Structure 1
């Protein structure tokens, strides 16, 4: 029975970590749904939003005011991106837009370091980090912080899914992603739509930055977290908001199980085959990318993504 509870603890721990990956993946999905391009700058937006928030806190501002001003900063950033970059790239090839987001990412990272410095900023927003022990005789441990992050991610996914499917703006976003010129021809204000979606992605980046910053501290390595969101996107689908959370749960749970149970089993198998004892580790670092590779081979649109068929 204790082995069952340990297995469940490892699985839940991984799934909770997966919801934090999903928070980053949500921003990628939002931009992709509105422009049809992968936003390489999303990870840097997470970093920049977190830097602004913690910077305002260190200046002595109340937490609520710091959050509101940071949201305003991300909205201003969305206006700047639309006016200076996206407006000049309407109906360009996706690779052109993708290269533009790479430039945006490097600029934003350098701009953030120029304003806030490169030091690690500790962040505490009051999310409890105590452990709950549940099951018979407290056999399984659950961290309150992980549970809170999962609830926040689930709430964001629910709100955004409803927004995309049941609002006029959400339908316009999907139309813009399909064809820029066609959307303009039927009166959809492309520039306004891009500002809205980049603003929403900025808000999502702030939430992700606060959660990740509370756990790791606000530091420039946060932008690397975006790389962990890539397998989540591939599994869930680049156009699916619910797919981001499902993909995160699969990736988070799978990599934890692979690290705790898969590595010893693989080491035993290799020892049986080769007769050489060895200790394997680090599976957690690459397991998600292997799963993503198989999805790319057999279901490139992901679990919930839309299959794209181009006729020539």
Structure 2
């Protein structure tokens, strides 16, 4: 058994309440008393019982993060930021992989783990506004990604359409007039792909360049192999592209491999840009021009919105116990920052 607050209080010669104040970071403790208590805590190697503390607060201290693919570098990097932001609040993060499958996303949405978690951060690929509105689980929820915009719950995302337009405008500014795109999807639920395609088309239209469907082959997934195969198709055209915008960095890395193995120089013969700013792109040869979403900001904002909901639930519970109406707050759409990072795959240093 570890040391208790009572043991620490006896060692320091103070009350249990004073020890509790020090452990919980309350400021109204004199420096001398705080020093005694902290010394006793260290001597007894005191470890707080987080389970008991959370039980008293009506909390588990655990939140869930549900993502489509854990082996996708973007989601892996985002997970780390969420874990760091949650740790600052003393929360543990339970990570779930849905594989983007509709039935698994519905299970997550309907709260199969509602007794285990205090809140959920969820990046869906298939469920829509109707399913979200029909949700019966009351677990606080924050959405990521673009599957559900202007929905009935808090949502954090970047402006994908504007970002895609900016990276396409960058390629146009280099003098390229025949620009391909890898990442378009025919699935009507693929909102991210649709928004990035819309931004690409906006940039072409603004520059007076035609939209050529042959330069935009559709793909079912966003992996390296898909980028490699689609780049091969583009290079087989009678008039191959001078530049290619890939809708994520994995597609771009696969495309880069095909271009280089075909004897092309990047960017001299073919300029190439991606999206997501994963670590691999910073160390590829050449390094990859990309759109860099602020993953840290996305994660911190999602955790903050979840924390605010948990506070609202607690206050609403107190008011309901007193006979008043629970508190309701409007859902917030939060737009996170991003920036275009120009590297060697489009501009030689």
Coarse TM-score class (shorter-chain normalised): under 0.3
Larger Rg: 2
Which structure carries more strand by proportion? Answer: 2
Which structure carries more helix by proportion? Answer: 1
User: TM-score when scaled to structure 1?
Assistant: 0.27
Report which structure shows greater RCO (CA 8 Å, sep ≥6).
1
User: TM-score when scaled to structure 2?
Assistant: 0.25
